[in-house]
Structure 1
Amino acid sequence: MASAPPPQTLPVKADLSAWLGVAAGAIGSLMATLDISIVNASLPTIQGEIGASSTEGTWLATAYLVAEIIIIPLTGWLARVFGLRRFLIAAAALFTGFSIVCGLSTSLTMMIIGRVGQGFTGGAMIPTAMTIIATRLPKSQQPIGTAIFGLTVIMGPVMGPLAGGWLTENFSWHYAFFINVPICVMLITFLLVGLPKGQMKLDELVNADWLGVLGMVLGLGGLTVVLEEGHREEWFQSAYILKLSAVTLLGFSLIAAGQLYAKQPVIKLALLRNREFAAVFVLGLILGSVMFGSAYVIPQFLASIADYNAMQAGQIVFLSGIPAMMMMPFFPILVARVDLRVMVGIGMILLALSCYLDVTLTAESRGGEFVVTQLLRGLGTVFCMMFLNQAAISSVSVDDAGDASGLFNAARNLGGSIGLAIIATLQDGRTEFHRWTIHSSLSANGDALQNWVAQQAALYGGGDDGIAIAMRTLDGKVSRDALVMAFNDEFMALTIAIMTVTPLVLLLRPLPKGYHAKAAH
């Protein structure tokens, strides 16, 4: 983690260069979170142009997410070794280069290389944004910086599908990557002006926790791929998944060895022995599951049931970002006057309510059905995100705040991966279950069913061909209803998961009196 200067070195009021540094951190974290999902809307088009199958195309999102999950916990150590300013400038420059690689890709291999590079360099810009706030703003103005950072982290995932869909439909999918170039130029300029030069501590490379670093790559990388690919590969019936699971186990063993033998572990998992921080970590996992899970389920429903295109579905997903934009100005007031346990509890209840209200979807449901629930989900997300971040870094010492922030951010993304894996498995299993349940409830000799089949067959010319078409139509209607019921089951599963962990809010502690919204030091 990057060391913060003594509080007395900070001015009473931040100057322009300090705010430019904060803006740089916000821009970097926005790009990093937005690029997770920006390819989702244009995925079919990209797959066609680079010659990838639908299964291979999912790696465009997976590769980015795997790299980002690996790098986030390592960011504090890397910033300390190379200096925050130098590290972030290098990350932004490399992110630009890898974005260009993605935009110019003509093959799946080239695209995956670009996406992995984007994930590693973009992920480094998420937790460091909080470090900039801590080191460049006085405590009285840190709530404003924290609110700006929270807005970018929440808005990134919901803006991704909308921005990608708009760029693809109005220009080309290539611009979903090329748009990063001018933004990164501005970002690097702000970093040069807004951050002071720092010293490198290359000697830490010699005594680094290399077992932990290698373990992070193998463990977190392997786990993420297992979760992403397990369903498609039929889990442990696949030799591929078994091998990846072995790699994952080896990685976590190396992390454990590093915790025991390294003088300074690359990430302090010992923080999880802190009951309050452990509660924050688990709540972060569920928060990530809801954020990424709902952003996946809703476009899937609208595309398969309501026949929405990517742009239309992206607009519905974007609704959850509106409460975030409206509430951010009030965050400094709320954090000073309201117990964080109350705010997190309200946020969890709102998330549970938003998912529960979506369990009554029908085959006639359209985007309008999600307006209220998306607004509730966005409001719950902003309460949970902002106050859990405060709880994470206030539950540990100042020296451990950087590691706590990294673990919390990693928990959110890892929770997203776990949630998506469970949802994908649940969707297929419950769709098949409901399909056969509906079929078994239909009486082949019932007058109503026979009359319906006869009417449909007559529309298609009668005879055996007409009956065959009528039976396929019936199966299609049954399959559609079964899929809708599976979507309802997914929202119910999210509801149960949220309510199960909500009591952990009681383990959190209120912020100290006079506490200003701190950032990770």
Structure 2
Amino acid sequence: MSSTSQAERPALADAAPLPIEPEVAALPAAPAPPPFVLMHPARAASYMLASLILALTQGLGMNLINANIPQLQGSIGATTNEATWMVAAYMAPNVSLAVALIKIRNQYGLRNFAEISILGFVVACFLNLFISDLSSAMVVRFMSGIAASPISSLGFLYMLEPFPPAKKMQIGLPIALTNISLAAPLARVISPGLLDIQGFHSLTTLEVALAFVALCLVYLLPLSQPMPRAKVIRKTDLISYAFLAMGFGSVAVVLVLGRFYWWFEAPWIGALLAFGFACITVMVAIELNRNNHFIDIRWIVSPPILHFAAVLLIFRIVLSEQTSGAPGLFQVLGLTNDQMIGLFTVIMIGTILGGITCIFAMRYSNEKATHLFALAIVIVGSLMDTQSTSLTRPEQMYLSQGLIAFAGALFLPPAMARGFVAALSKGPNYILSFIVVFLTTQSLGGLLGSALFGTFITIREKYHSSILVEHLALTDPLVVQRITQLGGVYARTLTDKVLQNAEGVALLSQQATREANVLAYNDAFMLIAGLAAFAFVALLIHITYDAVRARMAPPAAEPVAA
């Protein structure tokens, strides 16, 4: 994942853009930022604490709902498919807003951005207290998705604030990403206790409380303004972003709901997906014919950036094993979040250890070796999970899931730092294009991973069910004996043998479905291990190719003495 050199991309003048908008005079060069002043340790710790609170506030607001869909259905009077619309409503605006926020922050100032963003988030969290049915839940979750988008950016900025420039990428970035990763397992750890207090409104009350704490921290700890405010938003930017938001939002809704309504059964899924791709196509067409880009499409589709995006996307799909794999398996086996608290505690510990290890790994700037190590760990953890049975319990997955969490925290910071440096080397205007690449691979990539993982499990479950049912013939004495044993459970309440046998057949069918689901999850774990192994081999080949090319390159000519 090497950065793109200036020679690898044609100049904008050579692209002959159409005159969609008038030329805008180049902005004067920004003055050099003020020298860094080392903070007092107590104040630096306060900024780091603020970053943690902001990251958890934003992450819990999203994951508390995602982790408790089955428990929340009754509170809003909805089925599982209908309740999942809350997740789709949250993600639809959230996946694209970070792109617009970069320019909004540059034009209106970082402090104004922080204060207004946190106020909007508090209002959105407060509205969650008034959710009473599915319609109100979808409206409020849509507003929460809008308000939460800038909070993750503030979490990054507050963590980077106390570190000197040389340490921001090495120390600040891994800690910030680790904080964000902690929200998903923490939501499952604290959810059972909260639901026991007051159900759904306990979750929203916690979200409001954290939002008010974050509000106080933002106003007490102002962020420094790294560059002067400048008018960077143009009218055509608004048009481009509108199409980008509609496109990304439509794709996000499809990825969240497609496997629940099934991809080829609901006609609106295809229509919405086509609409999303059409909007993205229009945005690309606009940007290719502009002089002053909102997003530099040509840079994004250059080979080094496509390679960078592919690596991030593959690893994001691989990590869906942890978000959709183990929790889904145990849900099929009848376990709830309160029985998996230990497992998600181990995942949190693995994430923290991975973040700490990443800090030391980034000191040596050996990104490819770090990625190889992380992929090897994912392969080992996924292969361990392929041995699951219907008797597997969370304790048997502590080691494998801890390893995968460790690898996830270890992989992402070096990749993001490398991409950020590559964008910055091209100029500040390319930061926005990098954010689009990173956002697409992480937000939409995460939804894509969960959708592919869930779809694969559904298909494999049907396959294994058909094979198991083939061998459950009533002419088989062992099958008849098993049905009699299962039906005997109801002997005290049902005296009719026919009804007892019917109940026995129903219980045997449930057991066959459960075993088919376990086999399907084992297949999915094996698929993840295979995908990680493919990425490992591809990266190893890439490293070998670069080493051979460097060895065969002619030595640089020595300067001739005058």
Structure 2 CA distance, aligned partners of 1:56 and 1:478?
A: 28
Q: Secondary structure in 1 aligned to 2:244? A: helix
Q: Say if 2:448 is the partner of 1:448.
A: no
Q: Say if 2:140 is the partner of 1:106.
A: no
- Asked if structure 2 preserves the Cα contact closer than 8 Å seen for 1:21 and 1:136, the reply is yes
Structure 1 CA distance, aligned partners of 2:278 and 2:237?
A: 16
Structure 2 CA distance, aligned partners of 1:75 and 1:204?
A: 12
Structure 2 CA distance, aligned partners of 1:292 and 1:206?
A: 38
- Residue among 426, 432, 448 paired with 2:456: 426
Query: TM-score under structure 2 normalisation?
Result: 0.82
Structure 2 CA distance, aligned partners of 1:300 and 1:5?
A: 53
Q: Deviations over 1:226-251 (max 9, x none)?
A: 12222233324432112202211221
Q: Which amino acid aligns with 2:63?
A: S
Structure 1 CA distance, aligned partners of 2:172 and 2:487?
A: 66
Q: Say if 2:249 is the partner of 1:221.
A: yes
Between 1:324-333 and 1:340-349, the stretch displaced more is 324-333
Superposition pairs of residues 169-184 of structure 1, within 5 angstroms: 169-184=196-211
- Alpha carbons of 1:465 and 1:237: their partners in 2 closer, same or farther (altered >3 Å)? closer
- Asked if structure 2 preserves the Cα contact closer than 8 Å seen for 1:283 and 1:504, the reply is no
- Asked if structure 2 preserves the Cα contact closer than 8 Å seen for 1:24 and 1:190, the reply is yes
- Residue among 83, 96, 110 paired with 2:122: 96
Q: Which amino acid aligns with 1:46?
A: L
- Alpha carbons of 1:4 and 1:477: their partners in 2 closer, same or farther (altered >3 Å)? farther
Q: Which amino acid aligns with 2:399?
A: V
- Alpha carbons of 1:107 and 1:236: their partners in 2 closer, same or farther (altered >3 Å)? same
- Alpha carbons of 1:492 and 1:73: their partners in 2 closer, same or farther (altered >3 Å)? farther
Q: Secondary structure in 1 aligned to 2:390? A: coil
Residue 462 of structure 1: how far off its partner (Å): 6.8
Superposition pairs of residues 21-60 of structure 1, within 5 angstroms: 21-60=47-86
Residue 64 of structure 1: how far off its partner (Å): 1.7
Q: Secondary structure in 1 aligned to 2:248? A: helix
Between 1:356-365 and 1:142-151, the stretch displaced more is 142-151
Structure 2 CA distance, aligned partners of 1:29 and 1:263?
A: 36
Superposition pairs of residues 299-338 of structure 1, within 5 angstroms: 299-305=327-333, 307-337=334-364
Residue 98 of structure 1: how far off its partner (Å): 0.9
Aligned to 2:17: none
Aligned to 1:67: 93
Q: Say if 2:439 is the partner of 1:412.
A: no
Structure 2 CA distance, aligned partners of 1:186 and 1:449?
A: 60
Residue 147 of structure 1: how far off its partner (Å): 3.1
Structure 2 CA distance, aligned partners of 1:268 and 1:110?
A: 38
- Alpha carbons of 1:420 and 1:137: their partners in 2 closer, same or farther (altered >3 Å)? same
Between 1:443-452 and 1:155-164, the stretch displaced more is 443-452
Superposition pairs of residues 60-459 of structure 1, within 5 angstroms: 60-131=86-157, 137-142=163-168, 143-192=170-219, 193-196=221-224, 203-305=231-333, 307-337=334-364, 339-398=366-425, 399=428, 400-401=430-431, 403-456=433-486
Residue 278 of structure 1: how far off its partner (Å): 2.4
Q: Say if 2:511 is the partner of 1:477.
A: yes
- Alpha carbons of 1:38 and 1:292: their partners in 2 closer, same or farther (altered >3 Å)? farther
Between 1:455-464 and 1:144-153, the stretch displaced more is 455-464
- Alpha carbons of 1:113 and 1:383: their partners in 2 closer, same or farther (altered >3 Å)? same
Q: Which amino acid aligns with 1:189?
A: C
Residue 478 of structure 1: how far off its partner (Å): 1.0
Structure 2 CA distance, aligned partners of 1:110 and 1:466?
A: 45
Structure 2 CA distance, aligned partners of 1:36 and 1:300?
A: 18
Between 1:460-469 and 1:112-121, the stretch displaced more is 460-469
Residue 467 of structure 1: how far off its partner (Å): 2.5
Residue 189 of structure 1: how far off its partner (Å): 3.2
- Alpha carbons of 1:64 and 1:314: their partners in 2 closer, same or farther (altered >3 Å)? farther
- Asked if structure 2 preserves the Cα contact closer than 8 Å seen for 1:23 and 1:190, the reply is no
Structure 1 CA distance, aligned partners of 2:281 and 2:516?
A: 42
Structure 1 CA distance, aligned partners of 2:302 and 2:381?
A: 31
- Alpha carbons of 1:437 and 1:93: their partners in 2 closer, same or farther (altered >3 Å)? same
Residue 402 of structure 1: how far off its partner (Å): 5.1
Q: Deviations over 1:405-424 (max 9, x none)?
A: 45314411211111121222
Q: Deviations over 1:385-435 (max 9, x none)?
A: 222222221333342345424531441121111112122222222212111
Q: How many positions carry a matched residue from both structures?
A: 507
Q: Deviations over 1:153-175 (max 9, x none)?
A: 21112212222332112443213
Q: Which amino acid aligns with 2:138?
A: I
Structure showing greater radius of gyration is 2
Query: What's the Cα RMSD here?
Result: 2.9
Residue 313 of structure 1: how far off its partner (Å): 2.6
Structure 1 CA distance, aligned partners of 2:265 and 2:46?
A: 52
- Alpha carbons of 1:165 and 1:270: their partners in 2 closer, same or farther (altered >3 Å)? farther
Residue 317 of structure 1: how far off its partner (Å): 2.9
Structure 2 CA distance, aligned partners of 1:15 and 1:466?
A: 72
- Alpha carbons of 1:471 and 1:188: their partners in 2 closer, same or farther (altered >3 Å)? closer
Q: Which amino acid aligns with 2:76?
A: I
- Alpha carbons of 1:378 and 1:232: their partners in 2 closer, same or farther (altered >3 Å)? closer
- Residue among 500, 518, 526 paired with 1:466: 500
Structure 1 CA distance, aligned partners of 2:38 and 2:224?
A: 18
Q: Deviations over 1:162-209 (max 9, x none)?
A: 223321124432132222334333323333333136898584333442
Q: Say if 2:533 is the partner of 1:499.
A: yes
Q: Which amino acid aligns with 1:359?
A: T
- Alpha carbons of 1:410 and 1:4: their partners in 2 closer, same or farther (altered >3 Å)? farther
Q: Which amino acid aligns with 1:124?
A: P
Structure 2 CA distance, aligned partners of 1:120 and 1:482?
A: 40
Q: Which amino acid aligns with 1:67?
A: P
Residue 136 of structure 1: how far off its partner (Å): 5.6
Unaligned ranges ≥5, structure 1: 511-521
* Identical aligned residues as a percent: 17
- Asked if structure 2 preserves the Cα contact closer than 8 Å seen for 1:75 and 1:406, the reply is no
Structure 1 CA distance, aligned partners of 2:222 and 2:152?
A: 17
Residue 221 of structure 1: how far off its partner (Å): 0.6
Q: Deviations over 1:109-168 (max 9, x none)?
A: 222222122212212222454455556631244233223202212111221222233211
Q: Deviations over 1:3-58 (max 9, x none)?
A: 99846622356776566455434432332223221123443443222222221111
- Alpha carbons of 1:92 and 1:503: their partners in 2 closer, same or farther (altered >3 Å)? farther
Structure 1 CA distance, aligned partners of 2:499 and 2:159?
A: 70
